[in-house]
Structure 1
Amino acid sequence: MSRSPSHPPRTPLARARRYYFLTLKYIVVLGMLTITALIFANVVLRYGFNSSLFFTEEVSRLMFVWLVFMGALLVLHERAHIHVDMLTSRLPFGWQKALRLLSHLIMLGITLLLLTGSWSQMLINRGVGAPATGIPMTLFYGAGVTFSILSALVILHDLIEYARQPAPAASLHAGQDISAH
């Protein structure tokens, strides 16, 4: 279930969270447009004028890495990742809730692994610059660190939200998904 924009956030923290993710969407779109413009300009310069911009490949690659991670964060926030619920949707509410909580705990564990791996790579590549531009390579691995921290916050928020979710008044029967409530 994705978060519905038709229900405005009630608390200041929820409003701040909403505006943060809205701003992040605009940044991702701006990044995609920038990558497209850089690559297009480089193609035109290369084939039209036998010249090129030396930095486009490295800057585009760095922006792409950040766009992938920030896009994944947006999709995580909107609960829009692909999921298969053939089994879980047929289970009673209690089992659905338990499996959802377990899946979020597993996601937190994997996020911790990504954080430690990205952090290690940042430390290993400290002081190393990209060949053409000299952009610090820590910026590449910083995307993984940033994503890990922010996604852990999103997962923790959802975990707490699911844990607090009471059983519906009319107990869910098998075949009703808790994400619809």
Structure 2
Amino acid sequence: MGRAERWFVEANRAVVALALAAIFVIVFANVVLRYGFGWSLSWAEETARFLMVFGAFAGAGLALREGRLVEIDLFVALLPRRLRLALRWATVLAMGGFMAALLWLGIAFVEFGWSKETMATQIPRGVPYLALPIGAALFLVHLLLFAARYVQEGYLFADLPEEPAAAPEAR
């Protein structure tokens, strides 16, 4: 992985981590306020939901890279190598096509929602809808950078050693 690609992956991880940390802080604060003081944040549930959706879309490319997306490859693994590689390239094209469509339609969805407001936060609905095109764009960049390694099944953590075996107990 090159320097720019490594920076991109780490920046994407940081964005997802920040979204998850913000969800934790918002929900924790709201629970403490609600049950400890009888008062809650009116915007907490909506904001946490928006951040959760954003985190899921923003992290999808990372999940692909790490081999964490659901893949049923029982029959694919039985195919001859050349056919298996061709099928994986077809999968890359299908994923790319789907994410390109999601990017295109996500932009239209953002434009559609921009004139309407969310219930609790009173921000344009287009703001949380940005999760769609941003997530699709991030996935496409990951796919472009990672496609050849994906086809070769070279996931990010595939080359890491397994957890060391536990030391035998002394008797």
Normalising by structure 2, report the TM-score.
Answer: 0.79
Contact in 1 for aligned 2:65/2:142 (Cα 8 Å): yes
Amino acid at match of 1:97: L
After TM superposition, the structure 1 stretch with the greater mean CA deviation from structure 2, 146-155 or 62-71, is 146-155
Structure 1: 4+ residue segments shifted above 4 A? none
Map of 1:61 onto structure 2: 49
Instruction: Please state how far the C-alpha of 1:180 moved relative to its aligned partner.
Output: 6.1
Instruction: Please state how far the C-alpha of 1:58 moved relative to its aligned partner.
Output: 2.1
Map of 1:105 onto structure 2: 93
Matched positions, count:
155
After TM superposition, the structure 1 stretch with the greater mean CA deviation from structure 2, 147-156 or 97-106, is 147-156
Amino acid at match of 2:141: L
RMSD over equivalenced CA pairs, Å: 2.3
State the distance in 2 between where 1:148 and 1:93 align: 30
1:179 to 130, 141, 153: 153
Are positions 1:24 and 2:12 aligned together?
A: yes
Are positions 1:86 and 2:60 aligned together?
A: no
Instruction: Sort the Cα spacing of 1:99 and 1:46 in 2 relative to 1 into closer, same or farther, 3 A.
Output: same
Map of 2:104 onto structure 1: 116
Map of 2:140 onto structure 1: 152
State the distance in 1 between where 2:113 and 2:133 align: 14
Percent identity over the alignment is 30
Normalising by structure 1, report the TM-score.
Answer: 0.75
Amino acid at match of 1:109: G
Are positions 1:41 and 2:29 aligned together?
A: yes
